[in-house]
Amino acid sequence: MGLDDFFTGLEVRKSPELKEKPLIVSAGPKDSERRGVVFAASPEARRMGVRAGMEMRKAHKLCPGAVTLPASPLYYESESEKFMEILRWFSPLVESFGPGEAFVEIEGGQSQTQCNGEPLFEKGIALANEMKERVKQDLGLGSSAGVAPNKLLAKLAADFKSPGGLFIVRKNDAAKFLNSLPLKKLPSLGPGMEARLRSLGIKSIRDLSKAQPLFLEKLFGPRSKVLHEQSLGKDTSPVVPFHEPGSITREAVFVQPTGDLSLIRETLYGLTENVTSLLKGSGGKCGAVAVKIGESSFKTLVKSGDLDLETDSMNDIWGAANALLEEAEFSGKVRLVGVKVSRFYDDA
């Protein structure tokens, strides 16, 4: 489930006079509209060709009349947490996929957890409608939802009916649904790989699903396995909750998925500083640290470990977080990184 135009929607909610105007949220410095990169763009700006990750100079050439605002991370973070709390009211199995996006799994037995049982599937549809109503009532924002047997299909279904819709993909309809989508919709497919596939005559998801896995592996290596499985609608990645009562967590989403380990580490360091500051402000100490890595393929990896001694030291917490990052084995590009401290002790 996702909030429609989360960043620009929040800015419009704060300043209603911006409604229906082209709006660009910049990740660059506040002192210039022409520096930095586009963090988010409203539907009006996107219709002019503006996209997240684009240089601001290019964005303003495409959309010269756009209103530009600096990003407000703390504001977005606060509203994102309100959104996640709404979803957790319906199910404890909530995995954030971004500030305004999350996967929600409906609890039950094994067959129900896999969302193959029709009664539970119908329950999921009803709950998706209830979630959308609660989000609109509590946050004043529209949302889109997809109900499907796995995370891949649910994400694609939500995007298919965005903004404001609800789309349902049943197991038997998965192939038909995927074949109606353009190749670029597959989350593991970057622009470079898409161009190479098109040069080989693979121009649709249907074409890709019929390609021989060994042929793809020779061209693209091991990462082609996930891509081919996605073209068939296969996704076995579970919903991985990161939040727990009493913990302190912080997550960051990259404007564009990245494989740059230095950037990932730098981002994790900043998140760890923030978490440590909040921990110190609470007057407590923590006994455990966890790191979350979310790949663009929907695979989520969480590494956690106990500390030798309870602490509120940045050196200790960062040392543990960095070690966990070093242990993490991720193959695809990273979309999200997060850190969590838990097992609190009173500093008395």
**How many CB atoms neighbour CB 122 within 10 A?**
12
Instruction: Give the chain's end-to-end CA distance (angstroms, integer).
Output: 42
Going 297 to 333 to 83 to 177, the CA torsion angle's sign is negative
What are residue 33's phi and psi, to 5 degrees?
-80, -10
Annotated active-site residue in 101, 105, 251, 295: 101
Give CA–CA dist 276/272, Å, rounded. Answer: 6
Q: Is 101 tagged catalytic?
A: yes
- 95 forms beta bridges with 103
Give CA–CA dist 248/286, Å, rounded. Answer: 10
Residues annotated as catalytic are: 101
